[in-house]
Structure 1
Amino acid sequence: MNEIFKNLPHGSSRNKIEYLAEELGKLAGGAVTNLIDNGHFHGMCARGFVTTQSRSDRPFSLNVTSLGGRAEFMLAHGWAIQVQPGAGITAPVSRVGNYYLNTLPNRHFAQIMCQGFTMYQVLRPVAPQNDESKSVRAAFNVMALAGAEVEVGFRFIHMSEDGSHTLGDKVASKIHTDFAGDGFVTCDSGALKNNVQVEQPSYVALYLEVRNSGIVGLQRGVCGFVADDADLAKLEFTHAPPYYQATDCMKPIGFEDLGAGLIRFNHNAIHAPFGMARHMLASGYHVQTITEHGSDYKVFQYPVDHIPSAAQLEAMQMSFQYSSMPTGFDFYKV
């Protein structure tokens, strides 16, 4: 019999209600909130993405496309991925998708085929908690090939006076190497100390970096304020609609031919608090360049021999991913 029922007091209903209320309070106090958005990796974007190169300078610009060296795209709602410099040539990201295996406890996982990459999520402002015995920790279930290295940790995002944002150094990171390609391994981070390392308010990038593995499976992602491994194990997926949204293509709602190869595309207004270049990622191959942009329009400059016809413009989609989560933080900057 359940311990709560065994200990249920005899006598009046009031005694039973007070006892149950106390037990529920204990359970609530032991609950741990998952800070990660979309720990299931649902809503995968960019299926079939292939990057032909990963340039060493990797400029994060609206005019640098995934086939032109950007080597970054939205993996899913709330998750961005950067290809390790050089890895896009030797082992490109050739397939991204959701797969179901009846032998897995949770059955759902994401698969990424790439020799080296960093996957990350920018956590919403993380405020310190009053309980200094707790720290921020994260964990992923990862399947990788023998010889692979998986690093899990955090990097603060610092805002400069000019409004630009840069990544801080790695903190609370751990490296895992116990892989055989035949099962999932729990890869956790170190402890980001509460009220010591956690600034307020602070954006923190949680990252998972993979090295030397041509194929990787991801089954679970959790992060929260925990006191120990038992608390970390309590963290569960969140089933609510993702806070961070990502779309593969943007559909214009109108266009205007400005002449001389300039075309203005109007689209639904997008929210870009970190700047447009951090929320829109150029994908595919572009012959045109952006000369002007706003929250609800883009002006493209087309080469004279590539100016689209009116019929082509009517059917056109803009090859841009939009992410409500900020992106373009250079994890491979030397």
Structure 2
Amino acid sequence: MRVLLAGATGVIGRELLPLLRREKHHVTALVRRPDSDLEADAVVAADLLDAPGLTAAVAAAKPEVVVHQVTALRPVSGDTRWEVFERTAHVRRVGTANLVDAARKAGARRIVAQSIAFATTPEGGPLLDENAPLYVDAPDAMWSMTVRAVADLEATVLGAEDIAPIVLRYGSLYGQYTQYDASGAIGQAVRLGRLPLVGDGCGLTSFVQVRDAALAAALAVGHTASGVFNIVDNEPTPAHSWLPGYAELLGAPEPKRIPLELGERLLGWYGAYQQTGQRGADNAKARAELGWRPTVSCWRDGVCEVVR
């Protein structure tokens, strides 16, 4: 099939591009700037926020399937944390709408888009499925903005019923080029003893190895299913387990324990919430309806490979 991959140079795109080509798809990489190092069948350049330019680029690719893996989380020099998340929210809202419109105009018959599995309201649990409401009214302005943009992205994609939409809600990504890489932001914070364990540490994180996330996207390209699917590993893990365990694997100091109030001051609202209140995600629907299964069932097994 002819596939347009938007976000081919991102964390997922790096893994997904060779997977799609290995399956004999003709892959056109959509990037903001031409990149001669991409091993794609073709490359087109456009910004998701430039609707006319994007429409022309997508039309040139003549895709049967459009895969949306674009975020704007890579900081630009001088950016504040708020600016990074605000820009990503804008891309999720406006850029996604532009891409869906361009895909439709180009005659695509399917769209696959990424979302996040940890944006659900922390009610019930401990594991939440795809029917759980999104946390759009979170008490933190930055997280509320993020989740509202995720909700808009999902509504835009799922509203394109004429092009068989599918949304993949990835868990917390770990592996090469992610924050949880040993050289990533979280890996370095743990290595240096700068990521404390907050409160009771009972908040659950559903991880997924980045290659497993890419495998799910590759599977979705040729599948007939539509709707929302959690793409997470089999063992959602509380912070009081994964954080000290990760420190041990890195040969780092044991994380200091601090109260919730101090955790919110040091890590921000979301950093403390992840460790104390976040729910895990259930992958049963993806297993049953997509036939997807993580090749790495537990974060520890995958992180061991990175650390060694």
TM superposition score category, shorter chain reference:
under 0.3
User: Which structure has the bigger radius of gyration?
Assistant: 1
What TM-score does the superposition give when structure 1 sets the normalisation length?
Answer: 0.25
Which of the two has greater strand per residue?
Answer: 1
* Larger RCO (CA under 8 A, 6+ residues apart): 1
TM-score, length-scaled by structure 2? 0.26
